[in-house]
Structure 1
Amino acid sequence: MKSTLCTFASCLLILFVIPACNKADKTDPDAVDTGNESGNETNLTNTTSTQCPNAPSYGDSILYLQPVKGNYTVEPVNNKGVQGTYLSWPEGLDINATTGLINITQSETGIRYNVAFVKKGTTDTCISTLILGGVSYIDSIYVLSKNDTLAAPIFNANPNASPVCDGSDDTDYPDNGNHNGNNKCQFDDDTTSQGANAQKLRVRTVSGIINLKKSLDDGLLGKNPRNGHFKKVKIEYRLNDNSKKADQKITVQVMYYDKVSSIPNDLKQDVASKRKNAFTYKIIAEKPRPPLLIIAGLAN
């Protein structure tokens, strides 16, 4: 778990000036190139800083939700009997400011966080990096005229990691008789009207890949979507990894524009920044959820 040291004031400043990012799949061929991305994988292992002994440690660099009744929580393995204040960023981590207890059930999984501790009587903030294992999608612009149609999930906030799930094709939807994924992964096992596929977000149950063109054609955004029209849809899933098939969920936001040039420049720049930051494993100060998937009909 990587740890660093800063003053309390400077760490608060970090919360407001670090640019936003989401984790993305480096190998995703379906997204328009919106930024200069680095494919170099950084060291994600647990490390210790001798300069900051109070940096919060939870025993591992990746924590996984577990299939338990009620809430699954973890607490720091260090700082026993040491008084102080815990804080975290970006938004999404449910952490007790006094004890450092993290409620993983109530947190957003699939995200990399900074967790900090300010020892009582000091202004120094000890920071460590922590990942909550799970699924995310890259913020991207998908151009249908270039056959950019598929949004693939990434796992454990690592855009270059191998997929946890098997691949699948357009036969892998609930209305084709597939409801349960396979032994590795299960996406959208909700057969009610609130399920992702029931709302026309075409999520493959084995791979978690979203077919955005099919979603649009099937009416996710209505018959005649307007520029800027969007919809947020929750995807429920289970992974046969260290989370032991615990019930998890992620909400994605799908937005439509008739062509790339119709997308506001500030929105394109935001997507480009998030994609660039994703591949350098940067932690963001802003809210990383829901990931934004923009469908553009034409390239110009």
Structure 2
Amino acid sequence: MNTTVATPTTTHDHHTPGKDPIIEEGPLCVGYKIEYTSEFRNVSGESVFYANGKEPYLISPVIRPRLRIPHIKVRGCFSAYPLGLDINQHTGEININASNSGVRYTVEFAPHGKNCVARTHLVIGGIAYEGGIFSLSNPQEYICRPLFYGDRTNSEEVPSRKIPSGRFGFIPDNQKPTGDLTGLLIDPQTGEINIGETVKNGGLGFRRGNGLPENGSCKEFSVYYQLDLGDSNKNTLQKTSVHVHFFDTTDQIPEDLLKRLKFQQFFIRRNTAALPLLLGMSLSSWADSPWTALGALVLTLSTMLWANVSGKTTSSRPPEIIITT
């Protein structure tokens, strides 16, 4: 098996990409508000930050308690999901440059003595990839396209399929294309990954006597990129990652890998089509049987709640790109 695993660094009292805390969903605190302010906002009105390459890039939260008593500091604990946000659990301070970019995060603040949380969302601008299952027998599905998380100037939805111009897939040290050195075939102008050619050219290696990788092969690829966003504060060098797997047949894909893929896809769409689509599917059978529709609705909502809680510990891992014959 050809396996490359990134070893993330850890930071004391911070949630980093290497830690997998299980965070329970808590009820919202009435009267408490938490916010991270930025000059950039997306179409949903959420704050957007961009890595600037100057260490560290720290931001702090503004907490408004129910009773605004001067000189009284609200104390509590901070947490964030999905994984990848470098946040101090005690102060809520976030290091943007040390966090994974191309992600929409949820930050929760639990006041001491309260059985509830204040919740907010923020975006660290950049690109990410949506995982999926690709078949070598269908060349029309060879391409894995990136998504873009950014502010309202560059993104009409969250995330957006419209990618800003830039350069993608190069090695920072010598500026050579990634594909020349690691085997990942990526379009330097669009950031699109050619899955089929990556396999055919040996990006995952070859098994003896066969032009395909070993069954169960997996490799993590790093994609360096630089976006042209018209602002020098946004144009810093950034990096994202993808996991590429190969299996001879779809029934050989492990169940836990399929779950991670589903969680990742669910969280990408959770603010767009997921809720109306799932509810629409549940209620579509109402005319045939109200009890059937009600059961489908309950199942849909419980599934979404389960995915929301479980996905907090999985959805920020590198996207799972699965290839079969």
- Normalised to the residue count of structure 2, the TM-score between the two structures is 0.64
Which one has more relative contact order, counting CA pairs under 8 Å at least 6 apart?
Answer: 1
Asked if 1 retains the 8 angstrom alpha-carbon contact of 2:243 and 2:320, the reply is: yes
1:185 and 2:166 are equivalent in the alignment: yes
Cα shift at 1:255: 0.5
Asked if 2 retains the 8 angstrom alpha-carbon contact of 1:195 and 1:234, the reply is: no
Cα shift at 1:129: 1.8
For 1:74, the equivalent position in structure 2 comes to: 59
Aligned to 1:228, what secondary structure does the other structure show?
coil
1:293 and 2:291 are equivalent in the alignment: no
For 1:196, the equivalent position in structure 2 comes to: 178
Aligned positions of 1:82-121 closer than 5 A:
82-121=74-113
Superposed CA RMSD in Å reads: 2.9
- Normalised to the residue count of structure 1, the TM-score between the two structures is 0.69
**Structure of higher CA gyration radius:** 2
1:138 and 2:123 are equivalent in the alignment: no
Cα shift at 1:275: 2.5
1:247 and 2:237 are equivalent in the alignment: yes
Cα shift at 1:84: 2.2
Identity of aligned residues (%): 26
Gapped regions of structure 1 (runs ≥ 5) = 1-10, 16-48, 166-183
The 3 A distance-change label for structure 1 pair 129 and 69 is closer
Q: How many residues align?
A: 236
Aligned positions of 1:1-300 closer than 5 A:
12-14=23-25, 51-59=30-38, 60=41, 61-79=46-64, 81-147=73-139, 148-156=141-149, 161-165=160-164, 184-190=165-171, 192=174, 196-197=178-179, 198-224=181-207, 225-241=213-229, 244-281=234-271, 284-287=311-314, 288-297=316-325
For 1:44, the equivalent position in structure 2 comes to: none
Output one character per residue of 1:87-118: Cα deviation in whole Å (capped at 9) or x when no partner. 11221110112221110111111112210112
The 3 A distance-change label for structure 1 pair 72 and 268 is same
The 3 A distance-change label for structure 1 pair 69 and 55 is closer
Aligned to 1:13, what secondary structure does the other structure show?
coil
Asked if 1 retains the 8 angstrom alpha-carbon contact of 2:49 and 2:124, the reply is: yes
Aligned to 1:256, what secondary structure does the other structure show?
strand
Amino acid at match of 2:196: K
Cα shift at 1:135: 1.1
Output one character per residue of 1:155-199: Cα deviation in whole Å (capped at 9) or x when no partner. 11866624123xxxxxxxxxxxxxxxxxx2111231659963210
Asked if 2 retains the 8 angstrom alpha-carbon contact of 1:189 and 1:237, the reply is: yes
For 1:179, the equivalent position in structure 2 comes to: none
Amino acid at match of 2:143: L
Cα shift at 1:214: 0.9
In the alignment, the residues of structure 1 paired with residue 259 and residue 29 of structure 2 have an alpha-carbon distance, to the nearest angstrom, of 38
Q: Which piece of structure 1 moves more, 277-286 or 103-112? A: 277-286
